[in-house]
Amino acid sequence: MPSSPEPSPRVGVLAPPNDPDADVYAAALERAGAEVVRLWFRAVPERLALTVDLDDVRLGDRSLGGLRGLLVRKLYFSFPPAHLADVEERNGRTLRARFVAARERASLVRTALLELERRGTTVVNPPDRVLRHTEKLDQAMQLHRAGLPVPPSLGTSDPGAVRAFFAAHQDAGVIYKPLSGGGQAALLTPADLDEVRLAQLQNAPVLFQRRIPGPEWRVYVVNGHVVAAAELDTTDVIDARDNLASATPVAVDETTGQLCTKAVAHLGLLYAACDVRQSPDGPVLLEVNPAPAIRFYPAPVQDAVTAALTRLLLGGAA
């Protein structure tokens, strides 16, 4: 009798249905013979049931228990909610009812993901570490405490502190960006130091950093190894993403490579992309992304990253 073929390993990709980066990751997994299960919790609980008990995690009528790996590309759920829609566009007559429901959903989804990890699924990256990404200043502080070079940074709602920081870093310039990410970085100008403008800090604090000059590298680290990197030209732009078309593969030198692998290990990530500025004084870490986009970077970078990531998710050596 012919032996029955090995069933293909199942790997989950957690992302919105229209996430083009998830498509890139999923295609690589499928090429490697994995059965890809696209997951997204947005429909929970109105149109899709999520169930966790001592034996299994089920989404709809489907068990997630046997997933070999799970790639967390986007985590919709957190508490407090990271998306206004998660409160606004939900059932519940009052804002309060919807707010409480959001907390309940986040609790169950987080438990489901943590439980999958305990049951042996390689979760890349663990949800708590993905969620920590919204604490950008804290990440810089952690890296700084670990002796790694980060830009001089200031998180504040105090106009006086901003003026002092601006004066201290006038030679290089000061960048500001949201503390929790998700916005464009901008250059602080003398016009921003106007009293009325700075008073807006009383509505929400902001992250300020010394501007680090030089080309920007996007360094991908999988399972402790640098697997690929791209260089972005930063001439005439503040936020390097305005120059994504300039991305070209770059060979990573030892200093930069070690900096990135150390940072990623320190943050406890299995997969990450480091944004690094190559300043005249050496590489400086702008941030480490725990659920990075990939599609903007050249094909050789995509291929090297998805190949290593696929091996990690399927449980082989990187």
Partner 1 sequence: MIWDDPAPPLPTAPDGFFCRSLDVDAQRRDQAATFIAPAFVHGRPARRLWPVFQHAPHVPHLSLAPALRPEVAAAIARDLAQAAFAPHHHAAYRIDVCRRPAPGSVLGRFFTWLASAGAVTWIQALFGAPPSLRGLVPRQVQISRMVTGQGFAPHVDTLDDGVTVVFQFTRGYAAAHGGALAFVPAGTVPVIAVPPVFNTAFVFRPAGVRHTVTDVAADAPGPRYTITAFFLRPDPSNLDDK
Nearer to ligand ADP, 29 or 75 (CB): 75
Which residues sit opposite 195 in a β-bridge? none
Q: Which stretch binds Mg ion (CB under 5 A): 117-125, 197-205, 271-279, 294-302?
A: 271-279
Q: Which does 135 bind (CB under 5 to 8 A by kind): partner 1, Mg ion, ligand ADP, none?
A: none
Residue 177 in contact with ligand ADP, rule: CB under 6 A: yes
Amino acid identity of residue 7, one-letter, is: P
Q: According to the binding rule CB under 6 A, does residue 212 interact with ligand ADP? A: yes
Stretch in the footprint of ligand ADP (CB under 6 A) among 52-60, 82-90, 193-201, 211-219: 211-219
Binder of ligand ADP out of 185, 260, 294, 313 (CB under 6 A):
185
Helix (H, G, I), strand (E, B) or coil at 69: strand
- Closer Cβ to ligand ADP, 151 or 283, answer by number: 151
Select from 42-50, 88-96, 109-117, 173-181 the region that touches ligand ADP (CB under 6 A). 173-181
Q: Which residues pair with 176 in a beta bridge?
A: 186, 208
Asked if residue 314 lies in contact with residue 9, where contact means CB atoms within 8 angstroms, the answer is yes
End-to-end CA gap in the chain: 36
Residue 73 within binding range of ligand ADP, rule CB under 6 A: no
**Whether the Cβ atoms of residue 82 and residue 135 lie closer than 8 Å to each other:** no
Of the candidate residues 181, 205, 215, 249, the single one contacting ligand ADP (CB under 6 A): 181
Q: Should residue 275 be labelled a site residue for Mg ion when binding is judged by CB under 5 A?
A: yes
Which of 225, 307, 311, 305 lies closest to 261, judged by CA? Answer: 225
Minimum separation from the CB atom of position 137 to ligand ADP (A): 10
Residues that bind partner 1 (CB under 8 A): 16-18, 20, 23, 26, 36-40, 42-43, 47-48, 59-60, 62, 84, 89, 176-178, 182-184, 186, 192, 196-204, 206, 245
Helices (H), the chain: 20-31, 85-88, 95-118, 127-131, 136-145, 159-168, 195-198, 254-266, 299-313
* Separation in Å, CA 84 to CA 78, 80, 92, 111, 163: 11, 10, 15, 22, 32
Residue 121 is which amino acid? T
Min dist. Cβ of residue 192 to Mg ion (A): 22
233 is a contact residue toward ligand ADP (CB under 6 A): no
CA angle centred on 315, ends 274 and 311, rounded to 5°: 55
What span, in angstroms and rounded, lies between the C-alpha atoms of 78 and 153? 26
If you compute the radius of gyration of the chain from its CA atoms, what whole number of angstroms results? Answer: 21
The entry of Mg ion, partner 1, ligand ADP, none that residue 175 binds, CB within 5 to 8 Å by partner kind: ligand ADP
Residues of the shown chain interacting with ligand ADP in the complex, contacts defined by CB under 6 A: 151, 175, 177, 181, 185, 209, 211-212, 216, 239-240, 275, 277, 286-287
